[in-house]
Amino acid sequence: MIKSKFSIKDLENLSGIKAHTIRIWEKRYGLLEPNRTDTNIRTYDLTALQKILNVSYLRNVGIKISAIASLSSEDIEKQVRNFAEKNNRNDHAIQELKLAMVNFDQNMFQRVYQSSLEEFGFSGVFYNLFVPFLEELGFLWQSKTINLAHEHFISHLIKQKVLVNLEKLQYQDSVQKDKVYILFMPENEMHDLGLLFLNYELLKKGCNTIYLGASMMLESLPFFKNKEAVPTYITYITVQPVEKQLPSFLKQFERKVKQTDDVELWILGQLAQKIKEKDLRENQKVFMGISDLMGKIPTLIDA
């Protein structure tokens, strides 16, 4: 069921404008006209949500609220389009993705994606649009502004784009023969979007990869050591293992997987940043993010 009613707190979380400020703007400028429940609680429809997102965008590009409030909703939309064509297009695209998610509108998602793709290419779309959007998505989920259906809907659409672009590269011959990157997620870790994109970036550089995906037991990993290619294992930790189990996970990798000194473990993800330096072995390294890791990878083929 499409969410068609929003609280003022929802508008605050989605737009970044404080609820107190929205109330002031309603009273001073008549910016929004909320409906009221029997207990006098404000509720807002999708039209109001779209308007406050547009207002937020125009405020962020430096227009005063008094000037914005003097415009009709149609003129506000026109101003947003004009500014988006000149600059700050990425901020506007993120706002549109929020609307597409809330309204379960896959056609709007496709329009935003296609427009950004033509301007930035797929890697640019992921870094400049999807990554900041997904960061906001986490907050919206934690604050209960969106529910599981919204999160699954938009995450699936983003994942679909990663897979479409990944397929264009994954069957090409690898340039790199002496090293293979084994991409896996620890047991019970299912959030594989970042790891999928990393696979795309590695293949784009001509690297040799084996993608194993979500929830892999360490006991299943020691089979990739051979004379031709030295494996570097890459994992992405978002929720599992939990922080207090991270030292044990690193020790188990050393015992169950490593085998020889030239085998490395590279670690990314939100929880990876919780790993203490003293718990890392010499062959284990934490990266701040995908771009940080990719900076260590040589380009093996022409882009």
Q: Is 225 helix (H, G, I), strand (E, B) or coil?
A: coil
Phi and psi, residue 283, nearest 5°: -95, 15
Parallel, antiparallel, or unpaired for β 230-236 and 209-216?
unpaired
- Does position 51 have pLDDT exceeding 70, yes or no? yes
Enumerate residues 6+ apart whose C-beta is below 8 A from 9.
Answer: 19, 143, 145
Sole residue written with tokens 């929880």: 271
Instruction: Give 174's DSSP letter.
Output: P
Measured between its terminal Cα atoms, the distance across the chain in Å is: 43
- Does position 5 have pLDDT exceeding 60, yes or no? yes
Q: What is the pTM of this model?
A: 0.75
CATH 3.40.50.280 range(s) for the chain read 179-294
The CA distance from 193 to 199, in Å, is 10
Distances (CA, A) of 73 to 31, 76, 103, 177, 275: 10, 5, 19, 58, 49
- Does position 84 have pLDDT exceeding 70, yes or no? no
Give residue 125's pLDDT band: very low, low, confident or very high (50, 70, 90): very high
Which CATH fold topology does 179-294 show? Answer: Rossmann fold (3.40.50)
- Does position 299 have pLDDT exceeding 70, yes or no? no
Residues in the chain: 303
- Is the pLDDT higher at 254 or at 87? 254
Sole residue written with tokens 């990878």: 297
CATH 1.10.1660.10 range(s) for the chain read 8-164
The CA distance from 210 to 192, in Å, is 14
Q: What is the mean pLDDT of residues 251-274?
A: 85
144: left (phi over 0), alpha (psi -120 to 50) or beta: left
Q: Do 270 and 246 form a contact (C-beta atoms < 8 A)?
A: no
- Over residues 175-223, the pLDDT tens digits come to 777 788 999 999 888 888 889 999 999 999 888 899 998 888 888 888 7
- Does position 7 have pLDDT exceeding 80, yes or no? yes
- Does position 48 have pLDDT exceeding 60, yes or no? yes
Q: What local confidence, expressed as pLDDT, does residue 86 receive?
A: 61
Q: CA angle 185-102-68, nearest 5°?
A: 125
Q: Tell me how crowded residue 255 is: count the other CB atoms within 10 A of its CB.
A: 10
- Does position 303 have pLDDT exceeding 50, yes or no? no
Q: What local confidence, expressed as pLDDT, does residue 245 receive?
A: 92
CATH class of domain segment(s) 8-164: mainly alpha
Q: Helix, strand, coil % (nearest 5) of the chain?
A: 55, 10, 30
- Does position 24 have pLDDT exceeding 50, yes or no? yes
Q: Tell me how crowded residue 256 is: count the other CB atoms within 10 A of its CB.
A: 14
- Is the pLDDT higher at 83 or at 278? 278
Q: What local confidence, expressed as pLDDT, does residue 179 receive?
A: 85
Q: If you average pLDDT over every residue of the chain, what do you get?
A: 85
Q: What local confidence, expressed as pLDDT, does residue 1 receive?
A: 52
